[in-house]
């Protein structure tokens, strides 16, 4: 057994524990009989556990992608319905942190993608935005030059220039550990985007600042 | 105005092996307004509960510890019709991927939900599923009745309303054309979809149409193309192997299924198919492994079958391990109790005894298998004939194998899929170099005879038609077209000339027999309806009611 395999199966196990913790916390916080001294601390707990779970999930998926055990299940989806699920996954968490959270999409917009994989990407972009936003996060979708663009924006200070200039586009790309960030989320996003193909066109990701909101903006372009 | 809570009026089943998880999910459902919630701790308990009552929503964890897994629960529930198309089945998985459960195209849940999920997500997902089921309800009802024309017209009507799920509807429409045997329309739909975008489901559908149109080389190319970019599209491996087998490339087919089994080892039907191919290719070690896996998986599966044990015994005995093989044969009696099991115990015993040098014992077992086969000719599936022929061929009884295959082809002359498999069996038994031509000849004879009978009916020569079909049905007791037309001849004779005792008895006998041979045959239903009409008219006459 290779070390990577041991790692993968352990991650699997840890994730199961985290799942249990998350669901139990959700349940506890939802119960009016639960008494918590400092609600803020509970929210931090919930948020960080979510983040850890998300990172492990991405690690697992990257592992499988590298071993070519994942092929995207691309179907036509109504994007509005899809974003509604993205919001449903994150709403509770962001509400409790007093972050204004909204989404914007033409109800008739449809796109071709693997909903599970892209949901994972947007979740992690939202968790990231939460770390840097002042008090607002917005998710949106639109068609642009025949590509479906999904955006996650915040009103924080924005991405530093070096990150915008050096967005990874696939697994072999430059993960710059010098910045102190593993860029796991971006690597994962880039890989998922790349797996989406139409004809000769692969999907890609980009970062920018001050799109609709003042802060950073994560973009995923899908063919 | 208060809207009715869509969660309140439904019955739920939650399946999870962890008590904490069960009560957590129940709590979530209750907070959404549900109150009729049952829970099961494992697959066995879940199936037992579903046997007792019908659930509208099933939330089932994939991983249920020892025993059945979630996929096996789903398969059993669908196969045994414990749930129907209106039931919402959600598979809960431990991670954000479907690969553990992949490959179950025939038995896919309505949705996958990965842990952990929030209450909001559960609500949104279930609301959408309820809506989708309600939208598709009329179409699904038509499909359950095999009323394809109605299903297609309903889908077209929905498509005209600019629905959000247009893609899903198009896919369903193309599948319905394929099921209805309208290959040209299905082909057109898949091709036009592929012209605008290379979607995996459309390419998969294209391959299936090509296969149905007997363009096996094209079908093979299509499935290969699909797998190049979608390595985990498991059903494509199965169809690629089918196409390769139809082309006579049995080694390639085995390689294909071996690759698929390595990726997704839990699919029992694929292991079975791999075992059969490996036996045919005389790769007994692979056969033993595949049948061994299948037997192991069978313990908790609704697809468990005595033929898996027979295959395992055959593989072991072909490697000289006759005692082990006989052990496996005796397992069949302990695990199953029906005619199919007795049949496979007999064929397996015949093979093992033959290979261990006990020719007399082999002959006896073969004779037993033949007896069971002939006394159940009208109820056992056609695949048994193939297995009987293979056994005869292993025993060196070429002529007998040939007779059995000929009868099987004649009995199932209108079943295209079966013809492909039968050709493979001819080839494997070394009975023919050009089995396709041979089969074509056999089928033409049946078609000619049937056509003659049908024109006799049309010319109202009912007695001649009845004589012809009766004799044909003697020789082909398992042929549903011949048996159905025999019943039709009797019914039409009585419609024309009045009811008589003998025609009545004959009609009933052949209606019953055809009924056992098929399910959901709309033509048979029509003959049965006319028969019932005759009966009631006769009863009224008898009672003097006008």
B267-326 pLDDT, tens digit per residue, is 899 999 999 999 989 999 999 999 999 999 999 999 999 999 999 999 999 999 999 999
Residue B233 banded pLDDT, cuts 50, 70, 90: confident
Task: Note whether B194 and B202 are within 8 A (CB).
Answer: yes
| pLDDT at B225 exceeding the cut of 50 | yes
Q: Does the CB of A173 have a partner CB in chain B at under 8 Å? A: no
User: Which residue range is the domain that position A91 belongs to?
Assistant: 75-222
Residues A39 and A111 in one domain: no
Instruction: Tell me how close the Cα of B226 comes to any Cα of chain A, in angstroms.
Output: 11
Residue pair B357/B317 in contact (Cβ under 8 Å)? The answer is no
pLDDT (0 to 100) of residue B236: 93
Do A83 and A52 reside in the same domain of the chain? no
Q: Residues A131, A56: one domain?
A: no
Comparing A106-110, A163-167, B337-341, B503-507, which segment has the lowest mean pLDDT?
A163-167
Distance between B43 CA and the closest CA of chain A, angstroms: 20
How much of chain A exceeds pLDDT 70, in percent? Answer: 94
Chain B residues 143-202 with a CB less than 8 Å from chain A:
162, 164-168, 197-201
Q: Closest chain A residue to B103 measured between Cα atoms?
A: A73
Measure CB to CB from residue B233 to each of A64, A71, A110 and give the nearest one. A71
Mean pLDDT of all residues belonging to chain B: 89
For position A191, which CATH number holds?
Answer: 3.30.565.10
A171 lies in the same domain as A84: yes
Q: Quote the CA–CA distance of A190 and A121 in Å, as a whole number.
A: 9
B374 pLDDT band, cuts 50/70/90, is: confident
Query: Is it the case that residue A31 has pLDDT exceeding 80?
Result: no
**What does the domain layout of chain B look like in residue ranges?**
11-140, 442-542
pLDDT in tens, B382-441: 889 999 999 999 999 999 999 999 999 998 888 888 888 898 888 888 888 888 899 999
Q: Same domain, yes or no, for A103 and A9? A: no
B428-460 confidence digits (pLDDT tens): 888 888 888 999 999 999 999 999 999 999 999
Q: Count Cβ atoms below 10 Å from residue B3 Cβ, excluding itself.
A: 5
B121 at A interface, C-beta within 8 A? yes
A23/B98 touch (CB, cutoff 8 Å), yes or no: no
Q: Is A78 on the interface with B (CB under 8 A)?
A: yes
Residue B428: what pLDDT? 80
Nearest-CA neighbor of B526 among B505, B511, B509, B504? Answer: B511
Q: Is the ipTM of this complex over 0.90?
A: no
The pLDDT, as a whole number, for residue A216 is 93
Pair (A27, A125) in one structural domain: no
Which positions in chain B touch A119 (Cβ < 8 Å)?
96
A223 → chain B, closest CA residue = B197
CB-nearest to B118 from A53, A92, A112 is A92
Q: How many domains does one find in chain A? A: 2
Q: Are the beta carbons of B390 and B428 closer than 8 angstroms?
A: yes
Same domain, A114 and A196: yes
B-proximal residues of A, 199-218, CB under 8 Å: 199
Top-tier CATH class for B11-140: alpha beta
Sign of CA dihedral B470, B473, B477, B480: negative
pLDDT at residue number B324: 95
CA distance A160 to chain B (A): 30
| Interface mutation target, options B121, B135, B194, chain A, most CBs of A under 10 Å | B121
**Residues B110, B90 contacting (CB under 8 angstroms):** yes
**Are A87 and A26 in a shared domain?**
no
CA-CA distance, B224 to B177, in Å (whole number)?
24
Reported as a single tens digit per residue, the pLDDT across A164-213 is 888 877 655 544 444 445 678 888 999 999 989 888 899 999 999 999 89
Cβ of B451 under 8 Å from any chain A Cβ?
no
Nearest C-alpha in A relative to B263 = A69
Q: Do A168 and A193 share a structural domain? A: yes
For B293, counting Cβ atoms within 10 Å of its Cβ (0-12 exposed, 13-18 middle, 19+ buried), the class is: buried
CATH number for region B442-542: 1.25.40.10
Are residues B96 and A57, on separate chains, in Cβ contact within 8 Å?
yes
Same domain? A111 vs A183: yes
């Amino acid at each position: 057994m290779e070390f990577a395999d041991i790692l993968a199966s352990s991650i699997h196990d840890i994730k199961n524990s985290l799942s249990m913790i998350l669901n139990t916390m959700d349940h506890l916080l939802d119960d009016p009989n639960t008494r918590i001294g400092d609600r803020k601390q509970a929210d931090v707990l919930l948020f960080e556990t979510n983040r850890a779970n998300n990172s492990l999930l991405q690690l697992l998926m990257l592992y499988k992608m590298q071993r070519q055990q994942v092929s995207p299940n691309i179907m036509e989806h109504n994007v509005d319905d899809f974003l509604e699920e993205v919001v449903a996954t994150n709403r509770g968490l962001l509400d409790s942190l007093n972050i204004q959270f909204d989404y914007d999409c033409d109800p008739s917009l449809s796109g071709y993608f693997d909903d599970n994989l892209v949901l994972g990407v947007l979740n992690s972009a939202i968790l990231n935005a939460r770390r840097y936003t002042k008090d607002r996060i917005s998710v949106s979708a639109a068609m642009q030059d025949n590509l479906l663009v999904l955006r996650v924006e915040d009103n924080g200070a924005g991405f530093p220039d070096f990150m915008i200039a050096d967005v990874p586009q696939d697994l072999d790309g430059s993960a710059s550990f010098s910045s102190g960030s593993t860029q796991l989320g971006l690597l994962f996003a880039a890989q998922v985007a790349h797996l989406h193909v139409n004809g000769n066109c692969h999907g890609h990701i980009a970062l920018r600042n001050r799109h609709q909101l003042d802060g950073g903006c994560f973009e995923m372009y899908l063919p | 105005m208060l809207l009715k809570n869509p969660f309140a009026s439904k019955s739920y089943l939650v399946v999870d092996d962890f008590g904490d998880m069960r009560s957590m999910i129940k709590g979530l459902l209750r907070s959404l307004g549900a109150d009729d919630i049952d829970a099961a701790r494992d697959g066995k308990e879940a199936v037992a509960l579903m046997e007792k009552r019908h659930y509208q929503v099933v939330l089932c964890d994939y991983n249920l510890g020892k025993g059945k897994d979630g996929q096996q629960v789903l398969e059993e529930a669908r196969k045994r019709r414990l749930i129907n198309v209106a039931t919402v089945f959600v598979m809960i998985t431990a991670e954000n991927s479907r690969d553990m459960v992949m490959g179950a195209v025939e038995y896919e849940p309505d949705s996958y939900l990965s842990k952990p999920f929030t209450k909001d997500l559960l609500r949104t997902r279930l609301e959408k599923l309820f809506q989708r089921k309600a939208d598709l309800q009329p179409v699904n009802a038509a499909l359950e009745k095999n009323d394809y024309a109605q299903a297609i017209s309903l889908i077209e009507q929905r498509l005209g309303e600019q629905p959000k799920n247009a893609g899903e509807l198009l896919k369903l429409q193309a599948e319905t054309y394929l099921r209805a045997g309208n290959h040209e329309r299905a082909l057109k739909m898949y091709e036009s979809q592929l012209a605008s975008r290379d979607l995996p489901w459309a390419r998969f559908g294209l391959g299936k149409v090509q296969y149905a149109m007997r363009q096996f080389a094209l079908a093979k190319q299509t499935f290969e193309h699909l797998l190049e970019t979608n390595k985990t599209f498991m059903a494509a491996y199965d169809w690629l192997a089918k196409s390769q087998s139809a082309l006579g490339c049995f080694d390639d087919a085995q390689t294909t299924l071996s690759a698929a089994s390595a990726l997704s080892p839990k699919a029992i039907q694929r292991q079975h198919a791999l075992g059969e191919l490996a036996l045919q290719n005389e790769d007994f070690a692979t056969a033993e492994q595949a049948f061994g896996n299948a037997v192991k998986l069978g313990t908790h599966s609704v697809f468990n079958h005595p033929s898996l044990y027979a295959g395992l015994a055959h593989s072991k005995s072909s490697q000289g391990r006759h005692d082990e093989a006989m052990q496996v044969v005796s397992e069949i009696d302990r695990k199953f109790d029906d005619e199919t099991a007795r049949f496979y115990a007999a064929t397996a015993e015949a093979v093992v005894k033959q290979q261990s040098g006990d020719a007399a014992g082999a002959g006896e077992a073969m004779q037993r298998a033949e007896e069971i086969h002939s006394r159940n000719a009208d109820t056992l599936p056609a695949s048994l004939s193939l297995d009987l022929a293979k056994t005869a061929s292993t025993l060196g009884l070429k002529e007998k194998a040939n007779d059995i295959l000929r009868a099987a082809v004649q009995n199932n002359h209108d079943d295209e899929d079966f013809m492909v498999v039968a050709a493979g069996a001819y080839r494997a038994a070394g009975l023919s170099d050009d089995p396709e031509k041979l089969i074509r000849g056999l089928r033409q004879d049946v078609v000619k005879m049937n056509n003659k009978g049908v024109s006799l009916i049309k010319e109202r020569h009912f007695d001649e038609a009845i004589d012809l079909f009766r004799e044909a049905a003697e020789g082909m007791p398992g042929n549903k077209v011949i048996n159905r037309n025999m019943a039709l001849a009797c019914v039409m004779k009585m419609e024309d000339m009045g009811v008589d005792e003998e025609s009545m008895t004959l009609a009933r006998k052949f209606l019953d027999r055809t009924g056992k041979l098929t399910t959901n045959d709309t033509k048979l239903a029509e003959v049965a309806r006319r028969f019932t009409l005759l009966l009631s008219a006769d009863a009224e006459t008898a009672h003097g009611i006008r």
